[in-house]
Amino acid sequence: MNPNLRKLILPAVLVGVLLIVVAVIYFVQPEHSLPSFFPGHASATSAEANHHHTKHGIAALVVALACFAFAWFQTGPKSGPTESRA
């Protein structure tokens, strides 16, 4: 196992938590209430201003789960020479 990847555990977990927050925002906020820097933001006068971006939320959730899976697999035991027990 690459020891440099073990240094990425904490950032991966932090990004995963941040993406879960983003997913929740996409699920509960209509399009006009999204922060302006979010993809899919529209003005309140738009025809679809009350539309929810469910696909954006699902995508953020999937990437968050991938970050958590990466962090989980990096916390496993360090690989080394295998010992045979007889």
Q: What string of pLDDT tens digits covers the 86 residues of the chain?
A: 577 788 899 999 999 999 999 999 988 888 777 777 777 766 655 555 566 778 889 999 999 999 999 999 998 777 666 665 65
Q: Which pLDDT belongs to residue 78?
A: 72
Q: Where are the alpha helices (DSSP H) in the chain?
A: 3-6, 9-28, 54-74
> Which residue in 38, 41, 42, 43 sits closest to 22, CA to CA?
38
Q: Which pLDDT belongs to residue 5?
A: 80
**CB of 61 closer than 8 Å to CB of 20:** yes
Q: Measured between alpha carbons, how far is 33 from 49 in angstroms, rounded to an integer?
A: 8
